[in-house]
Structure 1
Amino acid sequence: MSTSGPGKKPAIQITQSDFDKLSLLAESATHVSEAVLDELTAELDRARIVPDNKLRDNIVRMGSHLRYSTNGEGRDVTLVFPGEADIAEGRISILTPIGTALIGLSEGQSIEWVARDGRSHRLTVESVGAATETQKAEPQAS
């Protein structure tokens, strides 16, 4: 398992199309915490950008179905754009602290993330399934 120590983030990869859409979203989003936008921008800045058809299937991208664990509890979710988010259905917006933490991680990687209440958590990606058509959808700022 690939992990990072406290304060050090794991290497991440993002597709060119996700990078383009998320960059636009970060610039145009309203009604979103500045801290979340700053974190998304930081993740985009440190990501290795790869052609859409070159990203391995085990890496979280927009629309990925994945399982992660935090505090000993596993959760199955799909990473989506804000207009598609529905926590009751397990659709996590990229414009949330956990959504921003998940993008670009691969199976087995762990990352520290800070919840809106200021508490720090560590999550580990257990598995990543195929991405849905959401990755082709246009992002909608919220």
Structure 2
Amino acid sequence: MSPDSPLVATAQPPLHVIDTEYDRIADLAMRVSASEPVLAQRLMDELDRADVHAAGDLPPGVVTLNAQVDFVDEGSGSRRSVRLVLPAEADVAAGKVSILTPVGAGLIGMSEGGAILWPDREGQPRTLRIVRVVPAQA
């Protein structure tokens, strides 16, 4: 990612991704690259720097697809609890956030206690800190 990209995080925490989710997310990013080029590139950049694990070898407390995630916007102090999902399952009113939203792309692969500087929908930087991750049901 270029340093002048609007989605650059100043400190990039380690990321962990399950191998099968890596493939699904990469395919999704490629499919939306024409309509959402910045977001698609950010997802690909995040995948490129992630440590890829088999599902059984993923460290505990990592945000995966279908995980329940509690996080705090450190700028506003607001706390949210969301489930990270694929676009077809997204339902903001039900707390299901698509990986193809700025916050969804920022959460994938993060670990409990980790924080990332991430833009909101208006492009304003926000520091999101992961408070708790409840793994997806098998």
**CA contact 2:70–2:82 (8 Å) conserved in 1:** yes
Equivalent of residue 37 in structure 2, options 11, 30, 34: 34
Alpha-carbon distance between aligned partners in 1 of 2:110 and 2:35, rounded to the nearest angstrom:
23
Q: Sort the Cα spacing of 1:108 and 1:32 in 2 relative to 1 into closer, same or farther, 3 A.
A: farther
1:84 Cα deviation (Å)? 0.3
Aligned to 1:94: 99
Aligned to 1:103: 108
Give the aligned partner of residue 71 of structure 2. Answer: 68
Deviating more after overlay: 84-93 vs 124-133: 124-133
Higher relative contact order (CA 8 A, sep 6+): 1
The reply to whether residue 12 of structure 1 matches residue 15 of structure 2 is yes
Match for 1:125: what amino acid?
I
**Cα deviation 1:84-114 (Å, max 9, x = unaligned):** 0011111010001110100011100000111
Hey, what's the Cα distance between the residues in 1 that align with 2:92 and 2:127?
20
TM-score, normalising length from structure 1? 0.85
The within-5 A match list for 1:34-53 is 34-53=37-56
Pair 1:83–1:69, CA change in 2 (3 A)? same
- How many residues align structurally? 128
**Cα contact 2:63–2:135 (8 A) shared by 1:** no
1:59-102 CA distances to partner (integer Å, 9 max, x unpaired)?
Answer: 00011011000021111100000000011111010001110100
- Tell whether the 8 Å contact from 1:60 to 1:66 is kept in structure 2 after alignment: yes
Cα distance change of structure 1 residues 83 and 31 upon mapping to structure 2, 3 Å threshold: farther
Give the deviation of 1:29 after TM superposition: 2.4
RMSD of Structure 2 on Structure 1 (CA): 1.5
Where structure 1 has 5 or more consecutive residues not aligned to the other structure, the ranges are 1-5, 134-142
Deviation of 1:132 after TM superposition, in Å, equals 3.6
Q: What TM-score comes out, normalization by structure 2 length?
A: 0.87
The amino acid that maps onto 1:59 is V
Secondary structure of 1:124 counterpart: strand
Tell me whether 90-99 or 32-41 shows the greater mean CA deviation. 32-41
Is the 1:57–1:129 Cα contact (8 Å) retained in structure 2?
no
* Deviation of 1:52 (Å): 1.1
Aligned counterparts of 2:123 and 2:30: Cα–Cα separation in 1: 24
Secondary structure of 2:135's match? strand
8 Å Cα contact 2:71/2:130 also seen in 1: yes
